[in-house]
Amino acid sequence: MTFNDFNLDPKLLDGLLSMGYSKPTPIQEQAIPMILEGKDLIACAQTGTGKTAAFVLPILHKILNTETRHLNTLILSPTRELAVQIDQQIEGFSYFIDVSSIPVYGGGSGAIWDQQRKAMQQGADIVIATPGRLLALLQSGEMKFTHLKHLILDEADRMLDMGFFDDIMKIVNYLPTERQTILFSATMPPKIRVFADRILKDPVKLNIAISKPAEGILQQAYVVHDAQKMGIVKHVLLNDLFKSVIIFASTKDKVKALEREMQKAGFQAKGFQSDLEQNERESILREFKSRSLRIIIGTDILSRGIDVEGINLVINYDTPPDPEDYIHRIGRTARADTTGTAITFINEKDQRKFSNIENLIGVEIPKLKIPEELGEGPVYDPGLKRPTTGNKKPWGKKPNKSGFRNSNSKPA
Ligand code: AMP
């Protein structure tokens, strides 16, 4: 499945591309169609599953397809940190579209509060709020949700643990009863079910577990320029403890080119790709299994098909397109409780993609120093990668949240 299958607005797909997402995660595959259909939804999913995008993307799509724009969606979050994170993701996805959001939370300085109030007066499509502050605003009449279409409760279990049950029930009383309600929670204790029964209508239920790489894998990465990759491969393979090695490349043409280059450098390496005859492929696999071939080079097809014991090194010559592929690829090593090493090359273009993989598997992978003779690599700074192509916003650049977006940038 790809993001194209959801029929989302093409400009949202541009936003996804610039965020480095190539394939939906399981929660996104399941939740996005349900939310687009307008169903109430209760989903058990932890941070790291891609849950934020699972509700943000369909909501942005729906807002884009709304004729009259009013405050459309309320997202309740237990903490200001999570509210800000959600807001940042919305900002990333809506880089090429005109949808605005405001985080509203308590505990900040008077100046922040003034900014929040000003932004609310200017209007926004989405408010992301902590329950306490929002309730105060509703009670004072400063905020109204007359035309609200969607209520999203993120990390509902945490909100209840923090004692927000009563506040949320009061907030719900200020909302139209005709709305779509979506609840995400990392756990599903009985109190969440009771709570859900009171505010959701006939919800679809989803339960998602996170994939995790096997324990015995030593994961490492190099932040590189493309021209440095081959030098590092040669350097790593000097260690002859790596007796059985898989190198993954993104396309079959790259597999062929790498095969030539490795053989020229004197390594015992063969490419495994779809242009080979079936018997050639079988023979390569046999050689690899019997250890008479040290290195096999392939694409992701190899990551799903090959079950060979004793592979002790996997090299991702190109950063895998998404976390599931990463887990499949590195899972070729450290099978059956043995140990193995997985090394990934991250070029400048793939930095965002790699940081998404780290986020989704919940591990920060150490970045190793490039051998001195190969020169300096690029700086690792995935957060700063911004799209460089496509339409620019009418206001030239995204507003920062201390300045908020100008209200006249909204379509009439
Ligand atoms: P969340 O579970 O929403 O906190 O997401 C965890 C991390 O995964 C965030 O850094 C997201 O940017 C990233 N992420 C979410 N969906 C995808 C996807 N489809 N592909 C790659 N990364 C993703």
User: What is the Cα–Cα distance from 177 to 398, expressed in whole angstroms?
Assistant: 34
pLDDT for 73 equals 97
Question: Residues of 38-61 as b/e, b for ≥16 C-beta within 10 angstroms?
Answer: ebbbbbbbbbbbbbbbbbbbbbbb
Contact 368, 375 (CB under 8 A): no
> Which of ligand 1's atoms lies nearest the C-alpha of 51?
3
Residues of the chain with pLDDT under 50: 385-412
Q: Which residues line ligand 1 (CB under 6 A)?
A: 21, 23-25, 28, 47-53, 322, 356, 359-360
* 335 Cα to the center of ligand 1, angstroms: 27
* Residue 311, CA distances (Å) to 124, 193, 246, 294, 341 in order: 54, 46, 7, 10, 9
Domain 3-207 has CATH 3.30.565.10: no
pLDDT for 304 equals 66
What are the residue boundaries of the structural domains of the chain, listed by start?
3-207, 217-396
Contact 148, 175 (CB under 8 A): yes
Two tokens at 251?
Answer: 């396309």
DSSP string, 145-170: -TT--EEEESSHHHHHHTT-HHHHHH
Q: Whose CA is nearest to atom 21 of ligand 1?
A: 21
* 350 Cα to the center of ligand 1, angstroms: 15
* 53 Cα to the center of ligand 1, angstroms: 7
The preferred substitution site among 1, 25, 28, 81 for testing ligand 1, maximizing ligand atoms within 8 Å of CB, is 25
pLDDT for 361 equals 84
Q: Whose CA is nearest to atom 16 of ligand 1?
A: 50
Which residues, at least 6 apart from 166, have a Cβ–Cβ distance to it below 8 Å?
A: none
Which residues, at least 6 apart from 210, have a Cβ–Cβ distance to it below 8 Å?
A: 46, 48, 49, 360, 361, 362
pLDDT for 335 equals 64
pLDDT for 37 equals 97
Nearest to 156 by CA among 253, 39, 280, 55: 55
Check for a shared fold between 3-207 and 217-396.
yes
Contact 50, 360 (CB under 8 A): yes
Instruction: Say which CATH topology domain 217-396 has.
Output: Rossmann fold (3.40.50)
* 380 Cα to the center of ligand 1, angstroms: 19
Two tokens at 96?
Answer: 């090429």
Beta strands across the sheet bearing 180-185: 101-104, 126-129, 73-76, 150-153, 180-185, 41-44, 204-207
Two tokens at 239?
Answer: 């260690």
**Which phi and psi (to 5°) does residue 125 adopt?**
-85, -35
Which residue in this structure is represented by tokens 């609200």?
148
C-alpha Rg value of the chain to the nearest Å? 25
User: What is the Cα–Cα distance from 115 to 320, expressed in whole angstroms?
Assistant: 41
Query: How buried is 377 (Cβ within 10 angstroms: 0-12 exposed, 13-18 middle, 19+ buried)?
Result: buried
* Residue 144, CA distances (Å) to 90, 110, 399, 411 in order: 22, 22, 24, 20
Q: Whose CA is nearest to atom 15 of ligand 1?
A: 50
**Which phi and psi (to 5°) does residue 340 adopt?**
-160, 170
Angle between helix 165-173 and helix 131-139 axes, rounded to 10 deg: 40
The preferred substitution site among 5, 32, 51, 52 for testing ligand 1, maximizing ligand atoms within 8 Å of CB, is 52
* 297 Cα to the center of ligand 1, angstroms: 29
Beta strands across the sheet bearing 269-272: 217-223, 340-346, 313-316, 245-248, 295-298, 269-272
Nearest to 195 by CA among 175, 169, 173, 174: 169
Q: Whose CA is nearest to atom 14 of ligand 1?
A: 50
